Structure 1
């Protein structure tokens, strides 16, 4: 075999599956083209998914239940398949799909599957950036490839990838392809304290990741649309000597279907950090017994005044007329003073200082109050100005009678996250109706109110990018 075509052992992979969901669907056919110094070998096999397949999948692939009856299960094929894949560059079209399905199937058996993976969609985009479409059918037509066998069958599609690989090497310098492959596969040198196998474990998925020091201290936490890409970017040659790289001893991550899940995962990682990490984190979180908000109460007709309330005593998801979140009383008072000065509000009327009846407050003496404290401005007018100043800080009351399921799918339709939310609390994320019902059976959430979770969920509801499913109220 020409060393230019196979500078390392390669395996071109295509799978047919019972559907596109990692959690619920199974592999029904595997096709491999193995390429190495000894030549080219093909292998394909039907796989019994141990569940009926849909008419849609039969129409797409031509594979039906009768064909799969008597086929080997993935458990039976796993040792042979693992041997064929090991030590090779895993090449697939939309590699995230094929690699993810195989990894999930092996994981069900308690087996650890890792391999460097190359996506031919990404490679095509790098090699031919002038084109906008890179589906396999588009590439077949663009490069004049001949389809030998049925499309949407595993081995013919794996053969097409091998043909495409050879075609690209005829059209472009091998160095151009090699550099593009290196950029996509991304295998930088990790510092010695990190396990090199980490590179193969990182998912090409949305989510969040965190770097920790040798003492468990949280060094960095970020969300990402592609965990693998963003984590490995920290370890490029240009960043190798940075304090972050030198001090990182552990990397953790949690994948998600999309942006909402990534934001929630980031908070989960921060909360999972050790107490020492949390205390030194750049994202300090308020203690539950100190979190507070201003609640606007009516002292008399037309006379509205702010009163400080704490989350330990009031459910911020259900209380009316709350404005802003503050980690403690000191910060709440500082914010109210700042608001008062910006809008020429009376310190006495806001409860920020005590003066005798009819005596001017300090802000009026500094010409920054319009005189409600001495009867110069009507109380109702001051209240109206206070409401206007507070409006952008208003906390939205939970608008549903019961909890919500916020359903988020990834861009390929392969993963579906069901975020269970109860009164602005994130109860958990599940991947099936059975798991959702199990969570609901536990009753109302006992979690404390978290202002960051509130903001994330409120923003997601406003954006309308996730499907909303209202759930029945919990039984009394």
Structure 2
């Protein structure tokens, strides 16, 4: 099944990458990443110490369906006495360490493995190469590139299909032949399809280790630059992949030259990550505006448009606006709708002099409160109650009262009470942050389970 000549051909043809390579295949109870479980894993590792193989059945702790049993040849009886994944996790991690993962439809194998490690409290972050994409580039004249097509095209003989080591053997034979038939494309094609790309030689070793230690999932990455008092913060869907991709951006070497530390903190999802990152936000930076009720010299509440940055306050913001003009228009419409006096609120155009008659009174649409300001407490109470109805920028519907995120792998859940696009913290205060605001909008736009 594993041919000696193919293995040594590949060992030579992969040396230019100067990094361990693992050709891997997994079998599972089905194709659902969150509901199904691994039943077998097999691999071949190529590194400076030689060629190593590993093959293991896994007890999935769930029933294998007759369809999957017939497809893979792995029965419930075969895995009944097999170890659990958590029992082989450390041994398997040793074979995967510092390697590039080669697999047919690598996304399937990589994410099944990554989630299996996560379920037992460990993490897997590694670059991958999909041999389907590689085959498409090396052999563009062919339409099909699934493993059955490669087996037929390259006359690969296997004792059984859909067993992990048999499929690994098929991949090694394909790769060995392709490296010789398409030698003029071989190296450039491999470099192109390894994602994220291999870490550059100029990257210091300590940063390489810190990047490789990043979880490949949602979270917050703290980037500490030399002499900086606060870290730069990035919220990432896949921290490991996203940060490695930055290595190949323009001026990446100059940017990384000042970095002394990179650390990642996993989150349940984008909202959780945004909330985590808010503690490092600069409160002086703002991209939005809000309306605040501020007492004047006569102790009357007046509406003032002010910049809205990261803040933790006793109440949610009154409206969120992309620019002051939008806030001015909204507060005037709101005052007209609810019968509040724009002169009392000091929201009339600044070009009007104090001697100019009130335009609202002149239009005979005044509610008559101006001469009755002795009812100030009632007016203030009504203002505070109705101010919560000011619009939220970019959001046309009423905000739900709660937001919840669930980790589909661990079952961990977080829930937040929401009002005025702010979320309530554990101590009862209200957090507003631009990144949290955007995450909330995206969260509520998605269909909720």
The one of 320, 323, 343 equivalent to 2:319 is 323
Aligned counterpart, 2:41: 30
Aligned counterpart, 1:250: 261
**TM-score (normalizing by structure 2):** 0.64
Aligned counterpart, 1:349: 342
Q: Distance in 1 between matches of 2:332 and 2:168?
A: 69
Assess if the C-alpha contact under 8 Å between 1:407 and 1:419 holds in 2: yes
CA displacement at 1:229 relative to structure 2: 3.9
CA displacement at 1:13 relative to structure 2: 0.8
Q: 1:138 to 1:200 in 2, by over 3 A?
A: farther
Assess if the C-alpha contact under 8 Å between 1:22 and 1:415 holds in 2: no
The one of 163, 166, 170 equivalent to 1:160 is 170
The one of 456, 460, 471 equivalent to 2:439 is 456
Per-residue CA deviations over 1:232-262 (Å, capped at 9, x if unaligned) read: 23334852453x32332222335578xxx33
Q: 1:42 to 1:78 in 2, by over 3 A?
A: same
Unaligned runs of 5+ in 1: 296-304, 317-321, 355-359, 381-386, 429-443, 470-476
Assess if the C-alpha contact under 8 Å between 1:147 and 1:156 holds in 2: no
Per-residue CA deviations over 1:26-50 (Å, capped at 9, x if unaligned) read: 432111234568986654221234x
Matched ranges for 1:218-233 at <5 A: 218-233=230-245
Q: Distance in 2 between matches of 1:139 and 1:215?
A: 55
The one of 332, 351, 371 equivalent to 1:363 is 351
Select the structure with the greater relative contact order (CA < 8 A; seq sep ≥ 6).
2
Q: Distance in 1 between matches of 2:343 and 2:151?
A: 71
Assess if the C-alpha contact under 8 Å between 2:29 and 2:68 holds in 1: yes
Matched ranges for 1:70-469 at <5 A: 70-74=81-85, 77=88, 81-82=92-93, 84-86=95-97, 88-102=99-113, 117-121=128-132, 123-124=134-135, 136=147, 143-144=153-154, 146=156, 148-169=158-179, 170-173=181-184, 174-180=186-192, 184-189=196-201, 191-192=203-204, 194-203=206-215, 205=217, 207-214=219-226, 217-236=229-248, 238-242=250-254, 244-254=255-265, 261-262=269-270, 264-271=272-279, 273=280, 278-279=281-282, 293=291, 312=313, 314=315, 323-324=319-320, 336=327, 349-351=342-344, 353=346, 362-364=350-352, 372-373=359-360, 375-376=362-363, 378-379=365-366, 393=393, 397-399=398-400, 403=402, 405=404, 420-423=415-418, 446=428, 448-450=430-432, 452=434, 453-462=436-445, 464=446, 466=447, 468-469=448-449
Assess if the C-alpha contact under 8 Å between 1:371 and 1:377 holds in 2: no
Q: Distance in 2 between matches of 1:20 and 1:417?
A: 23
CA displacement at 1:14 relative to structure 2: 1.1
Q: 1:350 to 1:457 in 2, by over 3 A?
A: farther
Q: Distance in 2 between matches of 1:282 and 1:131?
A: 58
- State the number of aligned residues: 398
Q: 1:314 to 1:415 in 2, by over 3 A?
A: closer
Q: 1:197 to 1:47 in 2, by over 3 A?
A: same
Q: 1:35 to 1:28 in 2, by over 3 A?
A: same
Q: Distance in 2 between matches of 1:251 and 1:95?
A: 27
Per-residue CA deviations over 1:253-306 (Å, capped at 9, x if unaligned) read: 35578xxx33541442342x4xxxx44x785699xxxx96469xxxxxxxxx98
Aligned counterpart, 1:14: 25
